[in-house]
Amino acid sequence: MFGAGCIEQLHAANAVSPASADACVALQSNPERLACYDALFKAPTSETSSLVSEREAARSISTETESFKEKIKNNVVAVDAPKFDPNTSLLDSRWELSPESKLGTWQVRAYKPVYVLPAFWTSKKNEQPVSKNPQNVVASDEIVPLDSMEMKYQLSLKTKAFENIFGDNGDLWLGYTQSSRWQMYNADESRPFRETNYEPEASLMFRTNYEMFGLNGRLLGVTFNHQSNGRSDPWSRSWNRVIFNVGFERENFALMIRPWYRIEENAKDDNNPDIEDYIGRGDLTAFYRYKEQDFTLMLRHSLKGGDDSRGAAQFDWNFPISGRLRGKFQLFHGYGESLIDYNHKATYVGLGVSLLDWF
């Protein structure tokens, strides 16, 4: 049994450290948001005291905003680009970019979309994966019969390890994403997990504030990314990348451009030496929110011409079902839907539920 002191220590360990009420607005979960307001306004803990309500916090935000506007009117504050507003800034709510939106370190937050697709169908099964490395070519006697229909799900979290590394800018984030393709309907083969990809990474993200082509340049960053399927040869696939991040947004639209550089490996140990010629050398992800529906388009390419012109496109549509439960439709076409399929071209169609999206 935990004593009162232990419980207080647990609450203290998990408490957020918001820089302003704006930071609390960005939190999607109602309990987390209320806890954030409590931490900011230091609500009394006695049973007779009432907690700070969201209405009171909103009133405080409004007061701060009016004060800011008055300073601008009197030329006290110089503004050379739009000010971040967690109420409307998609990238700020995702990465805590502005000083007012900081929530402190070691707060676990959503990263990439979290979803379950019970129906995930492919137009072309990859029962005998191959690679340019002979050690990673699956032999005929190792072929596992697959169903075209399977289940796919993804989990993804991130946390900020260091905040404001360079003055009031520059945050170091640690992220982890795991996605699985499960042959749930393949009873003849004991319902195996066909492929699971593990993706830990570390990202250094900076706040920017400029205008380009009608968009607000909000983010600049660099990421060290490792991705593997955790299997032994000949099924093993893995690679390491340095990814550069450039983020733009305007109202309910966000755009992420990510070119990357692969860290080369010893040829003997390289499971997939030509992976960039299929999965590509960069990607572009566009997000658009219309009322309660979210639309995402991802494009990536090898950046080569002729027969080496390869890549992929993925379209996601999230729509409301009930409360926070949302439906999800996913369409993928091209190379590299998963690591084992990095040089396998097919179309995939998925339908299920989404728990968390990009923004």
Catalytic machinery residues: 226, 228
Residue 284, by phi and psi: left (phi above 0), alpha (psi -120 to 50) or beta?
A: beta
Handedness of CA 263, 265, 270, 274 (dihedral sign): positive
> How buried is 2 (Cβ within 10 angstroms: 0-12 exposed, 13-18 middle, 19+ buried)?
exposed
Cα–chain-centroid distance for residue 357?
8
Evaluate whether 260 touches 245 at the Cβ level (below 8 Å): no
Opening angle at CA 101, ends 98 and 106, nearest 5 = 110
Strand partners, 85: none
What's the half-sphere exposure (Cβ side, CA atoms, 13 Å) at 91? 30
Please give the sequence-ordered ranges of beta strands (E in DSSP) within the chain, or none if there are none. 109-110, 114-122, 149-162, 171-182, 193-212, 215-228, 238-250, 253-262, 282-290, 293-301, 311-322, 325-335, 345-356
Task: Identify the residue whose tokens are 């997990």.
Answer: 193
Q: Length of the chain in residues, anyone?
A: 359
Phi, psi of 268 (to 5 degrees): -65, -35
Residue 249, Cβ neighbours under 10 Å: how many?
A: 23
Phi, psi of 21 (to 5 degrees): -65, -25
Q: What does each C-alpha distance from 68 to 61, 64, 92 come to in angstroms?
A: 10, 6, 19
> How buried is 92 (Cβ within 10 angstroms: 0-12 exposed, 13-18 middle, 19+ buried)?
buried
